[in-house]
């Protein structure tokens, strides 16, 4: 496949031209020219290669329109590593009043969140999804859980899994907007 061929040329640039289609070599050359020493083994910016981030930006602007900044694009090696980076970043500063950092997490949820929160010495603040209502997210109930948790933890963020794993629910646009306002407030 194209992606495997590009990776092969990036990993071993000495592969003779003509071994793969010309566009494979062109893409590999474009990627390697953005790597220090033309090597994919070199250190790169934490947010990812600027070339690839620009490609993501172009795609998002074409698909969604709007104004997107390359500074807001952070590439990682999959969802799990991205989750770990963000949670670690949010857990590093001391809590207010020396309280343990807290993270609002849905129940049920993918276990990566609970395990990572525990690993980083933070407090899981569980909020229950409404099974009888298609696993909906009830922000009034979340607010109660959050208010209770403030006595023993410093809430830092809210995990919203959409589409839900393991429930499969999909939040409405209105519900997603409500979550943004809830977190902002």
Q: How far apart are CA 181 and CA 139, in angstroms?
A: 10
DSSP state of 124: E
Q: Name every residue whose Cβ is closer than 8 Å to that of residue 136 and which is 6 or more positions away in sequence.
A: 129, 130, 169, 175
DSSP state of 109: -
* β-bridge mates for residue 127, sequence order: 106
For every one of its 185 residues, what pLDDT tens digit does the chain have, with 9 covering 90 and above? 999 999 999 999 999 999 999 999 999 999 999 998 899 888 888 888 999 999 999 999 999 988 889 999 999 988 889 999 889 888 876 555 567 899 999 999 888 899 999 998 899 999 999 888 888 889 999 999 999 999 999 999 999 998 888 888 898 888 899 999 999 98
State the virtual CA torsion across 60, 62, 66, 70 in degrees, nearest 10. 40
Compute CA distances 153 → 55, 83, 149, 168, whole Å.
Answer: 40, 20, 6, 29
Question: pTM here?
Answer: 0.74
């Amino acid at each position: 496949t194209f992606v495997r061929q590009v990776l092969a040329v990036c990993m071993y640039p000495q592969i003779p031209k003509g071994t793969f289609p010309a566009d494979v070599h062109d893409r590999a050359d474009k990627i390697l020219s953005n790597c220090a020493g033309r090597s994919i083994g070199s250190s790169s910016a934490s947010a990812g290669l600027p070339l690839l981030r620009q490609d993501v930006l172009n795609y998002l602007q074409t698909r969604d329109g709007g104004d997107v900044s390359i500074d807001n694009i952070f590439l990682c090696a999959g969802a799990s590593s991205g989750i770990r980076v963000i949670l670690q970043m949010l857990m590093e500063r001391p809590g207010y009043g020396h309280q343990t950092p807290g993270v609002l997490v849905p129940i049920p949820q993918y276990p990566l969140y609970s395990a990572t929160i525990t690993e980083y010495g933070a407090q899981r603040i569980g909020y229950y999804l409404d099974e009888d209502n298609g696993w909906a997210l009830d922000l009034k109930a979340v607010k109660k859980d959050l208010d209770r948790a403030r006595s023993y933890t410093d809430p830092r963020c809210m995990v919203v899994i959409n589409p839900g794993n393991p429930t499969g629910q999909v939040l409405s646009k209105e519900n997603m907007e409500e979550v943004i306002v809830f977190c902002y407030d």
